[in-house]
Amino acid sequence: MDRLNYKMTISYDGTRYYGWEHQPNTDMTIQGKLENVLNRMAGLPEDESITVIGAGRTDAGVHARAMTCNVLLETELSPEEIQLYMNKYLPEDISVNDVRIAADRFHSRFKAKGKTYRYTLWHGDGKPVFDRKYVTVLEKMPDVELMREAAGHMTGMHDYRAFCGNPKMKKSTIRVVDTINIETQGSYIRIYFHGNGFLQNMVRIMTGTLLSVGYGEISPDDIEGIIESRERKNAGPTADPGGLCLMKVDY
C-alpha cells in the first residue's frame, strides 16, 4: 500500500486551545488533536506518529474557518471515509471540511501564496452574547475613517519587524500586505488583512495599532515612521486573540 499525501481543510474554534502547534505539557493544540485521531485511525504503535503540517501557526485562542494542512498517510480508506472518521472522533470545536489526495510535492505551508485574516470588533449598548467568543468588545467607538487612512500606510512591501511579537526573530521580517479593508455593519467593525504571509502576532499588533489611531493616540501619518523604526515598542498594543480568524489560504 502506497503512502499518499492528503490535503485537508479544517475549521476550528480556538478558544480552548493553546494554538495550532504542539506545546510542551499539554495535548490541547489543534495539531495535536488532529494527529491523535489520525494515529488511532492508522493503528500506529506508540513509538510511531503521524505529522500534520499546517499552513500557519495560529496563536492560542485564535480561530480558523479554512486552515489548510497536509499529511502523509498509508491507508485503505477513501478521502471521504477519512473525513467521516476524523469528524466522528474529533472534538466538537474542530471540523474537517474537505479531504482530497494531493500531489506528492504539495506542502501546505511552503506552497501557500497568501492568507486572509479577519479581525472582528464590536461596540454597542448591549452585549454580543452569541458572538462573545469571536469578537473583541470595545468600550468606546473608534474613528473608523482615521483607521482606514492608517491602514493605507500599512500596506505594501515592508519590513514589519515593528509588528512582530517575537523579539528574537532571526528570519526575514519583510512581508507583502496588499490589502487591509475595514468594514462596518451595525455594531460590528471587521478588518480584513490579506498578504503573502504574517509574522507572529502581526495581525493582532496591526489591529491594536489601528485602534490606537482610531482613539487618537497615534496619527495615521505616524505609521510610516513606526514601520521604519523596526521597533515593536513604537507600535500599538497586541489585540486579544478571540477576535482573530484565519479565513482562507491561497495556493
* Residue 2 exposed, middle or buried by CB count within 10 Å (0-12, 13-18, 19+): exposed
CB 223 within 8 A of CB 180: no
225 sits in which H/E element: helix 223-229
> E strands, the chain, where?
4-12, 52-54, 63-73, 94-102, 114-122, 136-137, 156-159, 174-185, 188-195, 244-250
Place of cell 472582528: 120
Find the angle CA(38)-CA(41)-CA(46) to the nearest 5 degrees.
75
Nearest to 215 by CA among 103, 123, 91, 100: 123
Alpha helices, DSSP H, located in 136-177:
144-154
| CA-CA-CA-CA torsion sign (56, 164, 180, 210) | positive
Three-state secondary structure call for residue 196: coil
Catalytic choice (13, 27, 59, 240): 59
Looking at residue 131, the DSSP 8-state letter turns out to be: G
Residue type at position 226: I
| Phi and psi based region of residue 230 (left: phi greater than 0; alpha: psi -120 to 50; beta: remaining) | left
- 76 phi and psi angles, rounded to 5 deg: -90, -5
59 catalytically annotated: yes
User: Catalytic positions, please?
Assistant: 59
